[in-house]
Structure 1
Amino acid sequence: MTGGGTRRFERLRQTLFGRRYWSKYRFTAGNEVRLFRSGEGFFASLIERIDAAGKDVVLETYIFCNDSAGQAVSAALLRAADRGVRVRVITDGIGTARLALFNDWPTRGVEHRIYNPHLFGRFGFSRTHRKLAVVDDQVAWCGGINIVDDYENDGVRLPYRRWDFAVELQGPVVADVREAFEVQWHRIRFGHRPVESLQPDFALKDDTSPSAPARGRNRSTDLRGAGEPAVAFVARDNLINRRAIEKAYLTAIGQARAEVLLANPYFMPGRKLRRALTFAARRGVDVKLIIGRKEFAALDYAVPFLYRSLLKAGVKIAEYEKTMLHGKVAVVDSNWGTVGSSNLDALSLMLNNEANVVLVMDPQIDALREAILTAFDESRRIDLAHYEARPAGERLLNWLAYNTYRVVMKLLTVGGYD
């Protein structure tokens, strides 16, 4: 890294790891990260680890389908429970149907809790949209991949594998993933009580071990060197981490000097994130944005309303239509990256329980960057002149769809969405 690059990284490191984020997330060094670009590798890794589990398996997902992927994962969970491993699963009440395969779980020892079983439940409108797993406190997973076949989407066969990502983690960060699950497990039972009163069961985690979270000390001491790879698990909830994921994006984009690559299926962020992207483009940063389409028609009409200000600032926008784009990923300056469950819309940034992993100086960032650039090249570019020449009826439809979305989201977020 050049001298200027080192100084920029040090400024980014100080901003990311400084005191202002103590209650949000921590960075740790000494982790191993493995990137998966599809469910195929992710499910193989997860099932292999579950089959080797000796004491504890936890899994949290928005969607658990009764298809080939779901049946394979369920079978692995049952095998683990049969040999005496404690197995716990959280699914979302709207994202996951009441599946027949769940009937065997309680009789075989798999503990199952449902987050917010109804559309408006004890946790309001929020969902658990996270995709997490931990086995024996040694290996964790986080990303955007649900327990669903790569080619299936609401009964329709996709032409190519769903474009999605997850990471397998080993090292100190695993303790943070496990803690997030424990808090959620007890929150479902007790509701939104103070975190300290939940008293989650950490019996399987040794808090005196070198990998345990270091409470109350400066997170920058975890790095042991400015150029050393670091990983942070960033969870979003409606308690103390309401804007943690959004702030992680804002900080990285605000520090960008050369490149911002961002891919997301539901791009409806508030003004702060849109401004961060336009400001970055105006100061000469190469900003490339990939947006998914053809899943929710309302968003297909609403999202283009945002294109004008972004394009005029120099942001390069492309719409991905090769298959279903489900990945929620970003890379900044080739030394910061994120993989997770959080869309860039009001629901993910302000209502749902979400989880991302942030990587700094990790070797896997290069592979993630390559995947995003390849997808950008395979996408349909949005040209400003062509965009401005849209028929009046289409422009009106975009305006109506966007403002309808904005009003609804303001109501659901009690005015928080801007």
Structure 2
Amino acid sequence: MSKYLPFSHDNQLALLYLGENYFTALVDAIDNATHDVALETYIFEADEAGENVSAALRRAAERGVKVRVITDGVGTSRRLPYIEAWHGSGVMHRVYNPHLFGKFGFSRTHRKIAVVDHEVAFVGGINIIDDYNGGGGLRMDDPRWDFAVQCRGPVVAEIVMAFHIQWLRLAPGYLGTPFRHRRRGQRARLHAPYAGQAAFVARDNLHNRRAVEKAYLMALGRARHEVWLANPYFVPGRRLRRALTQAARRGVAVHLLIGRKEFRLLDTAVPWLYAKLLDAGVRIGEYDMRQLHGKVAVVDDVWATVGSSNLDALSLFLNHEANVVVLDDPVVIQLRDHIRAAFAQARRIDPARYGERSRWRRFRQWAAYRLYRLVMKVLTRGTYD
């Protein structure tokens, strides 16, 4: 898919902001299912959100709907209390890589997708976990900043196929993917000639190793006016960092919103990458008003992506991820407004103050980044650059 993405048009798309709105739409779709429900998630938590979704899955299975669920072996507890009830009601459940290191290596399924009756699908960054659940029994004061897109139309078929392939991979006795899904792509122009253009971009370790990264690179390479990019873990490889700096140097207003206060190592390592970005004119904001979990971007008010892929080594080079790319749709402007509002609340990185930081601080940032890079080089078998 070097120059092309599998765009289809005449899709009906809706942006879902925060888990509360996502879960309402998801449960409603499952409750109206008549044939098939498929759900894949990294985290399925035993809390109010998890109970509501689990109950909807059971209700669907009990009325004869084919229900399949994929959870990750690390992201979701193997002691999840719903599993026995799922089996009793007919919900089929498979686990991706049940152990930290398994037959799929160290990779995780980090995707958050759901499809109902091959008619409506959901793609985004929202796990099956309550908006205020901070993990470890902690309750957050504010909901996670996150998004999903509800899709109807031709793009749903691509999402169905991605789930189907993943389901086959997890079948007992799996030895290898028996086929490669070949998709007809359209050139990734930033101005779409049709309404409701959308493309589903799935990353795996077989045939689509750099799919998400390439989608970003194509959009950034064609950017002419403005970029808004928000991500909780910003440690991309050299190609993506270079694309951001090149865009800024040719006059594009590049805004980078980065999450903070979730992992101490990343909080220390990520600022080491600011120097070249700031020199090129990239505007950086660190956001810690609440947990920034959205993995989203908007380019020139016509291109947008929403999905599960962080801009770090694990998401770009190891884990299974899923994003949707949207062109010339109201979703793009809605998403831009959300990112812009969050950026206005963020702490701006001043280039002068950044350059004056102490030698000790510079050393800590350098050491943290080098440690992160070394570990990721090992885990990704050298593909992280």
- Partner amino acid for 2:376? M
Residue from 153, 160, 167 that aligns with 2:142: 160
Number of residues of Structure 1 aligned to a counterpart in Structure 2: 381
Residue from 121, 130, 135 that aligns with 1:140: 121
Residue from 30, 50, 53 that aligns with 2:30: 50
What does 1:283-294 correspond to in 2, within 5 Å? Answer: 283-294=250-261
SS at match of 1:130: coil
Going by fraction, where is helix more abundant, 1 or 2?
1
The aligned residue for residue 103 of structure 2 is 122
**Structure-2 separation of matches of 1:308 and 1:237:** 31
Q: Could you tell me how far 1:414 is from its partner in structure 2? A: 1.3
**TM-score, with structure 2 as normaliser:** 0.96
Q: 1:183 touches 1:195 (CA, 8 Å); kept in 2?
A: no
- Partner amino acid for 2:60? A
**TM-score, with structure 1 as normaliser:** 0.88
**Structure-1 separation of matches of 2:116 and 2:194:** 30
**Structure-2 separation of matches of 1:157 and 1:379:** 22
SS at match of 1:28: coil
Change (3 A) 1:217 1:163: closer
The yes-or-no answer on 1:331 pairing with 2:298 is yes
Q: Could you tell me how far 1:84 is from its partner in structure 2? A: 0.7
Q: Extract unaligned runs of 5+ from structure 2.
A: none
The aligned residue for residue 65 of structure 1 is 45
Q: Could you tell me how far 1:217 is from its partner in structure 2? A: 4.8
**Structure-2 separation of matches of 1:235 and 1:192:** 21
The aligned residue for residue 55 of structure 2 is 75
Change (3 A) 1:308 1:216: closer
1:121-176, CA deviations, whole angstroms, 9 ceiling, x for partnerless residues?
00000000000000000100000000000011112221211000000000000010
The yes-or-no answer on 1:39 pairing with 2:19 is yes
1:60-86, CA deviations, whole angstroms, 9 ceiling, x for partnerless residues?
000000000000000000000111111
Q: Could you tell me how far 1:386 is from its partner in structure 2? A: 1.1
What does 1:93-104 correspond to in 2, within 5 Å? Answer: 93-98=73-78, 99-104=80-85
The aligned residue for residue 399 of structure 1 is 366
Q: Could you tell me how far 1:294 is from its partner in structure 2? A: 0.8
The yes-or-no answer on 1:361 pairing with 2:324 is no
Q: Could you tell me how far 1:216 is from its partner in structure 2? A: 6.2
Change (3 A) 1:71 1:216: closer
**Structure-1 separation of matches of 2:201 and 2:185:** 17
Q: Could you tell me how far 1:227 is from its partner in structure 2? A: 4.9
Percentage of identical aligned residues: 59
Q: Could you tell me how far 1:95 is from its partner in structure 2? A: 0.3
1:323-351, CA deviations, whole angstroms, 9 ceiling, x for partnerless residues?
00000000000000000000000100000
**Structure-2 separation of matches of 1:227 and 1:321:** 38
SS at match of 1:303: helix
What does 1:226-245 correspond to in 2, within 5 Å? Answer: 226-245=193-212
What does 1:307-386 correspond to in 2, within 5 Å? Answer: 307-386=274-353
**Structure-2 separation of matches of 1:121 and 1:245:** 24
**Structure-1 separation of matches of 2:16 and 2:174:** 34
**Structure-1 separation of matches of 2:234 and 2:183:** 35
The aligned residue for residue 277 of structure 1 is 244
The yes-or-no answer on 1:194 pairing with 2:177 is yes
SS at match of 1:196: coil
Q: Could you tell me how far 1:194 is from its partner in structure 2? A: 3.1
The aligned residue for residue 89 of structure 2 is 108
- Partner amino acid for 1:150? D
**Structure-2 separation of matches of 1:162 and 1:231:** 25
Q: 1:122 touches 1:191 (CA, 8 Å); kept in 2?
A: no
